[in-house]
Amino acid sequence: MKFKIKVFPLLLAAVFLFSGCKIQSSEEYQNEKQAPPENPITVTLEIECQTLKDNLDKGKAAVQKIIPEDYVILEKTEFVVSDGSSVMDLLDSAAREKGLTVNKSSGYVKGINGLSEFSFGSSSGWFYYVNDEKPNLGVSAYSLKEGDEVRFAYTCVLD
Amino acid sequence: MEQLKRLNPITLFCYFFAVVFLTMFLTNPCFLAVSFVFSVLFSTFLKRKFELKPFIFAVLTIIFFTIVNVFFSHNGLTVLFFLNGNPITLESVISGLNGGLLITSSVYWFSSLNELLTSDEIISLFNWVSPSFALLISMTLRYLPLMKKRYDEISDCQRLLFPEKKKLRSCFERLSILITWSLEKGVMTADSMNARGYFLKNKSRLSFYPYRKIDFFAEAIVLALLSLCLIFGGGYSVYPVFSGLEVNFIALFSEILLMLLPIFFIVKEVVLCRKFQSET
């Protein structure tokens, strides 16, 4: 009897918790209608891990299997985003469009398409470049301008 | 159970070390589930009854680990579905399941170890490291069960003496009694150890745990099965892509055999007992 009394509020709490959640399958998520960007600007995004050409043996076998043959996860592609949106927004919309999985936590990119930080040595992870320069800002703090060329590159040497 | 208890402490410790090491080393949920099932079975056999409450607690722990890991880790490539725009991946589910199974089965194994090894045996096991370290370990392992036993005793007594007391107040009182009693006992233990010359230099210890043939055989079997598991059981990965539920048959079989060993001892003893009873 005591057990039942304890279970009921728990169940109720769980129902409340999950009623605010939106569950979508991968296709639904990918095809979901997005609001058209305000003041659209065109930027390009490239995601690559060329540095692994020399450092492939640093990682575990399971991670080595998922590295693409040409070390390019996303070729240079044009995206239309609204003016002043951050690099994280760009990465999110690119991931949604191209079906990439991005593992992030509050303004920090942990991994892209299964290639995570610390996978190739303790000082490996993702960097981003805008017009071949490393901005001193987090991905969600940098706002994009027209014609920016964003490149995410994997590194094995944090400097 | 008597036969298990009569084994050399080194053998028993070897066995539990092997089992817990395997539980931590084999990162496939199949192996871990086997370990969990057999740890529960073994503790049931040892205590001669199935205890439902710890089991429910263990299952809840596993579920809790899985849910927490699913919500906080979005690592992995196999996306099951999107929850509020966050990917929920198969890998994070598996990883949480692994963590929960690992912890609960380790706890079960260690509780069985605690049941089998007496504090004397623990002291004799760790004597070669340092006698004070051995003493410390055996006292720590004994401490919590002892506290619980004392607390039960106190609360029985208090219930009979003052049945009308308020719950919270009596709880505090019991705690203060428990602490006083434990401190007093600690001082007494220290005095007694002093009197017996525990802190003398050049003090030697007698431990009488014979090393028999069966110990050697048991250790050989355990080591063989452990190395079989380690040779064939590697190469499973959870991140970034889960390597699937198919496991190496040899590794699984030797793991099951290893975990069946003590149960085999117990069953053999029970069967022998029945046989003698029916003969006389």
**Which chain B residues are Cβ-neighbours of A119 within 8 angstroms?**
240
**Strand A115-116 to strand A125-130: parallel, antiparallel, or no bridges (unpaired)?**
unpaired
Q: Which amino acid is at B205?
A: R
Please give the pLDDT value at position B233. Answer: 85
**pLDDT tens, position by position, B65-101:** 999 999 888 888 888 888 887 888 999 999 999 999 9
- In DSSP terms, which residues pair with A150 in a beta bridge? A45, A130
Average pLDDT over residues A71-79: 92
A84 touches A144 (CB < 8 A): yes
Chain A closest CA to B77's CA: distance in Å?
Answer: 5
Please give the pLDDT value at position B44. Answer: 92
Q: Does residue A147 carry a pLDDT above 70?
A: yes
**pLDDT tens, position by position, A27-64:** 888 888 888 888 889 999 999 999 898 888 888 888 88
Q: Which pLDDT band, with edges at 50, 70 and 90, does A3 fall under?
A: low
Q: Which amino acid is at A130?
A: V
Please give the pLDDT value at position B185. Answer: 92
- List the structure tokens of A133: 């320069």
Chain A closest CA to B36's CA: distance in Å?
Answer: 25
C-alpha of B134 from chain center: 19
Q: Supply the DSSP symbol for A35.
A: P
- List the structure tokens of B172: 């505090």
Dihedral (C-alpha) B147, B151, B157, B163: value to the nearest 10 degrees?
Answer: 170
In whole angstroms, give the CA distance from residue A92 to residue B14.
51
C-alpha of A144 from chain center: 17
Check CB contact under 8 Å for B82 and A24: yes
- List the structure tokens of A20: 């605010």
- List the structure tokens of B70: 């699913």
Please give the pLDDT value at position A47. Answer: 93
Please give the pLDDT value at position B92. Answer: 92
**Which chain A residues are Cβ-neighbours of B235 within 8 angstroms?**
61
Please give the pLDDT value at position B250. Answer: 92
DSSP line for B126-165: HTTT-HHHHHHHHHHHHHHHHHHHHHHHHHHHHHHH-TTS
| Cis geometry, peptide bond prior to residue B240 (ω within 30 degrees of 0) | yes
C-alpha of B36 from chain center: 11
For chain B, 280 residues long, give each residue's pLDDT as a single digit of tens.
Answer: 778 888 899 999 999 999 999 999 888 999 999 999 999 999 998 888 899 999 999 999 999 999 999 988 888 888 888 888 788 899 999 999 999 999 999 999 999 998 888 888 888 888 888 878 888 888 888 888 899 999 999 999 988 888 887 778 888 989 999 999 999 999 999 999 889 887 787 777 777 888 899 999 999 999 999 999 999 888 888 888 888 888 889 999 999 999 999 988 888 888 988 888 888 7
B40 touches B55 (CB < 8 A): yes
> Which residue of chain A is at minimal alpha-carbon distance from B81?
A25
**Strand A149-155 to strand A40-48: parallel, antiparallel, or no bridges (unpaired)?**
parallel
Radius of gyration of chain A (CA): 20
Give strand ranges (E) for chain B.
79-83, 86-89
What is the model's pTM?
Answer: 0.84
Q: Which of B67, B81, B88, B242 to mutate to test the interface with A (most CBs of A within 10 A)?
A: B81
Check CB contact under 8 Å for A29 and B74: no
Best CA proximity match to A147, nearest among A40, A48, A12, A70:
A40
In whole angstroms, give the CA distance from residue A74 to residue A48.
7
Q: Does residue A1 carry a pLDDT above 60?
A: no
Q: Does residue A2 carry a pLDDT above 60?
A: no
From the list A28, A101, A104, which residue is nearest B77 (CB)?
A101
The helix-helix angle for B9-25 and B90-116 (nearest 10°) equals 170
Check CB contact under 8 Å for B240 and A116: yes
Average pLDDT over residues A120-146: 91
Check CB contact under 8 Å for A26 and B239: no
CB count, 10 Å around CB of A158? 11
End-to-end CA separation in angstroms for chain B? 22
